Structure 1
Amino acid sequence: MSTPGSSYRLNRLFDPRSGRALDVAVDHGFFGERSFITGIEDMRATIDTLIEAGPNAIQLSPGLAPVLQGTSAANKPALVMRTDIANVYGNPLDEHLFSLVFPDAIEQAVRLDAVAVCVNLLHLPGRPEIREHCIRGIMALRQEATRYGMPLMIEPLVMQDNSSGGYMVDGETDRIITLVRQARELGADLIKADPTNEVGDYHRVIEVAGSVPVLVRGGGRAPDDELLARTQAVLEQGARGIVYGRNVIQHPDPAGITRALMSILHEGVSAGDALATLQSRSAGGAA
């Protein structure tokens, strides 16, 4: 579905050396869940830290995107703009669930000079109406994104049964590839997909996405060694990048973990060497 305008924007997302990207997601506050904003209460400070660390992009809601775009820092990260809001993460859940897309999201993204927009494709067991809302929103975004040359990143999220309260991600490979394929069929220019429980299965996600670049979600907080090893593994299987949020912004050293991830992405550094560098940085005091 890419148009010339969208490919121009993607040139600012993917690193010219590696063809890969690190997008740090800081749009968590948009979803109204208190635990999501731990570590990012002061968004000005958070964004300043990330600008200094230098990921390829920062993912923000329309209300906070101006904090990034209003800075004059040279070579600042590109903006990926979140377009939708849902209330599926609370514990306990609200009685009424919804997923809504800004009606003028693409125009806002153009005005804010975004390189892409991001929208959820939610699969909640027993709640097909939420998936329908997502599909309707994606269809509307696809039409406007094509008109304005704005790359559309679809985020397929397969959720477990919500018997424990809020919905949690389901990492079962077959369920992920089914929803990833639907994202491709709906016209995604980029797909932001969950890691599979069996990391060695990730080539199957890449296969079903075809020519659409896949960026892998980070999900909940993970130990540094696990996160870095998983990053290397999905890249070796064909992922074009990563979209990590809490694993960066809730890390004791956000700049350090960002640089470790960037070294794996763009310099081909092994997960073990990246971890050693991160640990030595921590031992010597973050700089």
Structure 2
Amino acid sequence: MPTIQANGIELYYEERGEASGVPLLLIMGLGRQLIAWPEDFMAQLVAAGYRVILYDNRDVGLSTHFPHARVASPLRAMVGLVFGLGFPTAYSLQDMARDGVALLDHLGIDAAHIVGVSMGGMIAQNMAIHHPARVRSLISIMSTSGARGLPGAPPRLRRALLQRRSGQMDRDAAIKAGVRTLELISYPDPARLADAFANHVAAAYDRAFDPKASLRQLMAVLADTGRADALSRIQAPTLVIHGRHDQLVPLACGQDTARRIPGARFEVIEAMAHDLPPSRMPQMADLIIAHARAVDKAGR
């Protein structure tokens, strides 16, 4: 099992493609394991000459979990944000960015194209801010700058996603809840198989079920309040991609991210919400490949 010891934890990772390929690091979003990356999408990147590296973030999948960490409740965190007070977290997004850098170190990679979705985009942004020499280019997908005043998910969606779930729920109940979450945030793509969500959630449950991990990661996201102002320091060529119909992280959040990063290009994918819809993945891969090739051609 390919793992590394870094930053006091263990990280599980996988690779696709040849070791001689141009390195491209994929960072998944909140509560999602590396199995959430579509294989066809990665195969398209590999066919274009990229060495694709993916890993389980800390607290998900086969990487180290933090079940005994003391963290704030969502309500306590929101109060802290409103009044400028701190609140306990298990770790920070900067810690998670250092995990990505440690993986590059382990693989002997000086710099890579960094692709992050949702929370993974925030981690990738932190890598570009705090470890600029390691980022050949930045691709931030369906993510946000975290700036105050940006629109959030509508109340109905927030209530559905934040409702309390028992850590003791059985497999069937956990799968049903996971499928409902994916249905709420995703675009109804006709190319998606009818049982795709159920199969994915079942595989994630069987691989590593930790219903509290998402809350711990969410607290790290909420605590990362200084990132918006720091985005102006990013020097890496940046591509920001967002789905037109994203309700969880609305389109304005992606627009704000691109506005704050010098020279960033902003691309909107139609028929996409806060998901990786099968019919839109070739387009997303094409955008990433074109961006990375332009950077490499320029000799960065």
TM-score, with normalisation over the residues of structure 2?
A: 0.33
